[in-house]
Amino acid sequence: MKLTIVHTTGDRSGTSLSVDGKELITLGRRPGNDMVFDQTGDVTVSGHHADIRIIDGHAHIVDMQSTNGTFVNGQRVNQAKLEPNDEVVLGDKGPGFKVTYTGQAVEPHGDEQAGDKIYGQRTVGVMIQQALDEAGKEQAKGTSKSTEYFEALMDKKVKRSSSRLKKIVISSIIAFVVIGMGLGIYFYFNRSVQVYQTTQVNYGDKAGGNIAAANRYAVFMIAGTPKSRPKQTSLQGFCTGFAIRPDLLATNAHCVKGARTKFSTVYALMNGSPQHRYPVVQMLAHPSYSDGSISPDVGLMKIKGQLTNLVTISPQAELGQVAPGVSVFLYGFPGRLNKEEAPEATFIKGEIGRVTNFDQKLGNFGSNTLLQHSAFCTGGTSGSPMFNGSGHVIGINAGGYTENGQALAGYNFGMRADLLSPLLARMGYQ
């Protein structure tokens, strides 16, 4: 299918972009999207604002939890099928465009039964997978189903499809029945076994040294003058932060709260460059963070000044691939090494051990924001960026587990990077 995006309003008005053969087109201001909007002009557009997805031969617009919303013909939508002349606007009064495309799904012919439809190969595959998923649930219970059961199951899934398609799909299901029954017997005698579908992904192959070099001047020691020692002239380092905007650092919520309660002045000292220090002028902690519990431990610190070295936050699709066994690199300031005169961060490697929600249970993508890792860390490394093998930040280091008052080596955790999104919106960033 060839798809053409024609811009009607905004900085791109009067231009167009043609895409051929792609089923997913990403839109946003962040570099790496298929269509990148202007960083300064299109301010209503989020970093990854929306997707255009080809579903059954038709274009659909899908909002990716953007700050300012996605509108089709003036109505805010989460997802909508795009018809000819529909106008899409990213954010209220933001840039607008229309989508035209060729190669739509084949419409029913006159000799087909009423309501029948010819489906493409991708749709057939989805139907087969849905039916197999339901059949697998039954097999996992140790039950045995006949061929007639699978036929009835698929008949329900494709009740609107043509009789010819039904025969094709049912024949495909029957081909898996023998395997399914074998799995059912196995699960019956091994009920404690859980099977999860995994996907082989490429997490990048950059060496740790390259990642450290590329982000050396984007990492900062957070230091301050203790309220308990008002006459102290030297600064005391207590956390790590990293630059995500020219005047904004990401860190932990507990670092923000500590800065407010324990220090009269707070500064950000650039890694490897002690002469570059920036006063912190505004701070914000995640509203759901709670001291003493595992909760969204992320925060922001706005500085006075302009930075040129920024980290790259992993896009949502990449965050969805974070899984046990993935290499992770931390870059921060261990407590004993927090020296004002020589702010030199420590770079260390570990692995993701578990990805769960804050109850430490496996949830869906939206709730699996707790990243357990094995990289060694101490108090001062709170707020350190967690890089994946592509050199992108997947999380913010937050703390470690304890048992009987003792820290458990290799059992530390961080917060997934997209927990920063609501804070950025509250501080006026997109």
Confidence of residue 232 (pLDDT cuts 50, 70, 90): confident
Q: State the average pLDDT over residues 117-124.
A: 45
- What is residue 55's predicted lDDT score, i.e. its pLDDT? 82
pLDDT(140) > 90: no
* Contact between 1 and 103 (Cβ < 8 Å): yes
**Spatial CA neighbour of 381 closest among 402, 401, 400, 397:** 397
pLDDT(336) > 60: yes
Residue 273 identity? S
Query: DSSP character for 313?
Result: B
Pick the more confident residue, 401 or 253: 253
Residue 313 identity? I
Question: Tens digits of per-residue pLDDT, 248-303?
Answer: 999 999 999 999 999 999 999 999 888 899 999 999 999 999 988 889 999 999 99
Confidence of residue 223 (pLDDT cuts 50, 70, 90): very high
- What is residue 199's predicted lDDT score, i.e. its pLDDT? 38
C-alpha distances (whole Å) from 429 to each of 21, 66, 238, 244 are 34, 12, 26, 11
Percent of the chain with pLDDT over 70: 72
Confidence of residue 231 (pLDDT cuts 50, 70, 90): confident
Phi and psi (nearest 5°) for 309? -100, 115
Percent of the chain with pLDDT over 90: 37
> Vertex 219, ends 213 and 220: CA angle to 5°?
145
Phi and psi (nearest 5°) for 402? -125, 155
Pick the more confident residue, 8 or 204: 8
- What is residue 249's predicted lDDT score, i.e. its pLDDT? 97
* Contact between 328 and 372 (Cβ < 8 Å): no
pLDDT(112) > 80: no
The contacts of residue 360 (CB under 8 Å, 6+ apart) are: 294, 370
> Vertex 221, ends 216 and 222: CA angle to 5°?
145
pLDDT(330) > 90: yes
Indicate the pTM of the whole model.
Answer: 0.54
Pick the more confident residue, 117 or 70: 70
pLDDT(304) > 90: yes
* Contact between 327 and 425 (Cβ < 8 Å): no
- What is residue 168's predicted lDDT score, i.e. its pLDDT? 57
- What is residue 288's predicted lDDT score, i.e. its pLDDT? 92
| Low-confidence winner among 200-209, 221-230, 326-335, 400-409 (lowest mean pLDDT) | 200-209
Confidence of residue 90 (pLDDT cuts 50, 70, 90): very high
User: What integer best gives the mean pLDDT of the chain?
Assistant: 78
- What is residue 139's predicted lDDT score, i.e. its pLDDT? 44
Question: Tens digits of per-residue pLDDT, 21-52?
Answer: 788 889 888 888 888 888 777 888 888 999 99
Q: State the average pLDDT over residues 381-404.
A: 87
